[in-house]
Amino acid sequence: MALLRAILARGVRPAIRLPTVGPMAVFHVDTGGCEGCAMEVSALDGAAYALPATGLRFVTTPRLADVLLVTGPLTRAMAPVLEAAWHAMPDPRALVAVGACAIDGGPFGENYAVLGGLEGRAPLDASIPGCPPSPASIVAGLAALLGASGLSSSA
């Protein structure tokens, strides 16, 4: 969707460095997948990983978020919602695609109801492949954003 590309991309953003002090605030948007990736992200939010105190905090509004974490293929109905969430976030902000659908559409490529993945539509600061990726690999992908080494910046 041209609208989305124009607004999310708006030139090339420099690779971001998120502050390494304090927990990383993540706003999770599922843009219409099978819920598999969303369930794996929710495992991170639970007792099995117990991350909130140590560096990863899920927030319920994009206004407080450092990272916009997207799971699922972007459906046409969710494109305006994702756009609004991105614009509500303060700088510096990162866009992370989790799972095959969010990256390139995976099994749900473009059709009458779906736009596909974010790759090529918006500059991704990290993409975490898998269908669905395990919670451990999602943590590893997010940790890369905290930027000791170079970022995996695709698109």
Partner 1 sequence: MIRAEPDPAPRTAAALIRRGEAEAGGWRFRLEEEGWHDLAEALRHDPLPFVTLWADGRDVHALFLEGGERPLVASVEPYGGRYLGLSPERPAAAPFERCVQDLWGFSAMEARDVRPWLDHGLWTATWPLSARPGPAAWPPDPPDFRPVPGECMILGSGPADGGHHTPAHLRLAVDGGGVVGQAEWRLGYAHRGVVARLVGLDADAAVRLAGRAAAGASVAHQSALCRAIEVAAGQAADAATVRTRVLLAEIERAATHLHDLSRVARAAGGAALAAECERLREAILDQCGRIGGHRLLMDRVCPGGAGDPAMDDAAVSIGGRVADLLEAGRAALMRGRGWPGLEARMAGVGVLEQSAARALGVGGVVGRASAREEDLRRLVPGYRREWLDSGVRRGGDVAARIDLRLTELGGVARLLRAAAGSMPDAGWKPQAVGEGVGFAEGPRGAVWYWVRMVDGCVAAAHACDPALAQACALEHVLAGAQAEDVGMIVHSFGLSAAGADL
The rounded radius of gyration (Å) of the Cα atoms in the chain is: 14
53 binds partner 1 (CB under 8 A): no
User: In the chain, what is the straight-line distance between the N-terminal and C-terminal CA atoms, in Å?
Assistant: 16
For partner 1, the binding residues in 67-86 under the rule CB under 8 A are: 72-73, 75-82, 84-85
* Interatomic CA distance for residues 74 and 87, integer angstroms: 17
Residue with Cβ nearer partner 1 (20 or 46): 46
Residue with Cβ nearer partner 1 (17 or 63): 63
Only one of the segments 14-22, 34-42, 89-97, 143-151 lies at the binding site for partner 1 (rule: CB under 8 A); that segment is 34-42
139 binds partner 1 (CB under 8 A): no
Residue with Cβ nearer partner 1 (82 or 145): 82
> Nearest CA to 49 among 151, 150, 110, 137?
137
Only one of the segments 12-20, 117-125, 128-136, 146-154 lies at the binding site for partner 1 (rule: CB under 8 A); that segment is 128-136
Residue with Cβ nearer partner 1 (105 or 123): 105
The minimum distance between CB 154 and partner 1, in angstroms, equals 23
Residue with Cβ nearer partner 1 (18 or 37): 37
Please name the amino acid found at residue 42.
S
DSSP 63: G
* Interatomic CA distance for residues 79 and 57, integer angstroms: 24
**Tokens representing residue 68 in the block:** 């916009």
H or E segment to which residue 94 belongs = strand 94-98
Q: Is there a contact between 16 and 94 (Cβ–Cβ < 8 Å)?
A: yes
Residues contributing to the site for partner 1 (CB under 8 A): 27-36, 38-43, 45-49, 58-62, 72-73, 75-82, 84-85, 107-108, 111-114, 131-132, 134-135
